[in-house]
Structure 1
């Protein structure tokens, strides 16, 4: 297949591109600068422009664009979070529709469901409250032009991706190694997680399965509580993680973002993936974390 990938320099995108090429696919990468390699094609999401030859003969588009949710929010930061997702999604969906590309896989987020507390949610569940949930609705709606043109559109609602090279784990490991780790708030909030190998495998699975479209939860079948997450991470790093960070402190540090990131409960399950026959490599959080944090084997 000939596949266009946007967001190819991110945590997930780098691995997706590498594995697609290892599997024999041809990949074109969209970049927001002058192309420096034969496989690069320039685009500018804010203006809605893409190099003319980028979509010639393309079989599928994978959009992984979006800046991190992490950090303290203000009005400017929230605008950037929205724009970094909605503008690329709209630009790519319009290009997919114009060029008749059969498939668009578009990144999305489990934040759609808001704070689920102890309730289990899947792709049949409705939208929750909050800034991120509303942003996800607009993000996914930006792909409608491709769907209306007859393309298969998959909305990949991803959870916390476990990787040693970035994401939340890279932020949590330093304080835990210093013995400063601990549960956030009461620790009963659920974390919907997925290992990076399963994330990439799921994307490849969705690329190949013509019968799957619409929202798909990319998360392991068994969410864990924040307290369990912290305990297992501390054990994996051989450090104590018994501290308790009160909600008031978390909110003082993160402001509005605290209740939508650190303190929110997302007890989501991957109903569509399971029904479609996808097999997870990692279903147990402890095993997944140990595998992710295991040092790579030296080259021989």
Structure 2
């Protein structure tokens, strides 16, 4: 029985990774900031970690003083879904330095492999989130540790924002909304990742089974909430002034704006896999809103 350390275990993706590892019989050690939060149900249907974890390590990976040098001792493999999106944290501290700290400890402990859940087009992004991830990927590629880098096209959890907009009666599209992507459910992505655990080093772009344009995703969201589609098309020409303004509001506003706007401007299609479909997920999100 191999022991796998999972970092970022309380996030949407991390929870599914822990669940899949547990299901397959791995011994799971998790690094979390709060065990109480981890044992609660996650957002967008992500599972609680209660009963799925063999060993808890409670510490803030952003604070080097809290990370014990023995973190990876006795660990066979490391899986990291550690990263910042909307949280009030510096991406450089978490996505780069936090993951770098984990990799250094993994190298010292001579773990067999390090799997990193990244994002597609990371080297094309200008946000601090993308730049931080890209910097870590470059270090990981050069590590002596066998590495697997998995780049999802987008998560169902992120796409759920369209349901919230549709519930409010209006959604926004960038241009014609013609860019295409195949977002993936956390459970499907976890299976894809763990299938590759222990293989040779590699990098994969992956997505869900269905490819949509952003416009089609907006329509799916309105169908889920039972409202007539009403979308406002934001001209592409306004992107530069919006980013300019966000840059002047501060680092967090700048990074978030650049991250999401750049994601709306290009196709993100990965290897099609999984059994979960976005329309069914949207129906579940809409139902939970009605019950709330």
TM range (shorter): 0.7 to 0.9
Which residue is equivalent to 2:260? 261
Measure the CA separation in 2 of the matches of 1:38 and 1:3.
Answer: 10
| CA shift for structure 1 position 7 | 0.6
Aligned length: 256
Measure the CA separation in 1 of the matches of 2:73 and 2:239.
Answer: 52
| CA shift for structure 1 position 222 | 5.0
Asked if the contact 1:46–1:87 (Cα under 8 Å) also holds between the matched residues in 2, the reply is no
Measure the CA separation in 1 of the matches of 2:23 and 2:229.
Answer: 39
Which residue is equivalent to 1:143? 140
Output aligned runs, 1:209-288, within 5 Å. Answer: 210-211=199-200, 213-220=201-208, 223-247=211-235, 248=238, 252=242, 255=246, 257-258=256-257, 260-262=259-261, 264-271=264-271, 279-282=273-276, 287-288=277-278
Is residue 160 from structure 1 mapped to residue 161 from structure 2 by the alignment? Answer: no
Measure the CA separation in 2 of the matches of 1:68 and 1:92.
Answer: 19
| CA shift for structure 1 position 68 | 0.9
Structure 1 unaligned spans of 5+:
71-76, 113-126
Asked if the contact 1:42–1:51 (Cα under 8 Å) also holds between the matched residues in 2, the reply is no
CA RMSD in angstroms, aligned pairs only: 3.3
| CA shift for structure 1 position 129 | 5.3
Which residue is equivalent to 2:104? 94
Asked if the contact 1:66–1:85 (Cα under 8 Å) also holds between the matched residues in 2, the reply is yes
Asked if the contact 1:108–1:139 (Cα under 8 Å) also holds between the matched residues in 2, the reply is no
Asked if the contact 1:221–1:269 (Cα under 8 Å) also holds between the matched residues in 2, the reply is no
Measure the CA separation in 2 of the matches of 1:62 and 1:158.
Answer: 15
Is residue 202 from structure 1 mapped to residue 192 from structure 2 by the alignment? Answer: yes
Measure the CA separation in 1 of the matches of 2:259 and 2:143.
Answer: 32
Is residue 130 from structure 1 mapped to residue 123 from structure 2 by the alignment? Answer: no
Per mean C-alpha deviation after superposition, the further-off stretch among 58-67 and 31-40 is: 31-40
Asked if the contact 1:195–1:292 (Cα under 8 Å) also holds between the matched residues in 2, the reply is no
1:91-121 residue CA offsets vs partner (Å, 9 max, x unmatched)? 1111111111001011211132xxxxxxxxx
Measure the CA separation in 2 of the matches of 1:106 and 1:201.
Answer: 14
Measure the CA separation in 2 of the matches of 1:199 and 1:139.
Answer: 21
Asked if the contact 2:152–2:207 (Cα under 8 Å) also holds between the matched residues in 1, the reply is yes
Which residue is equivalent to 1:26? 27
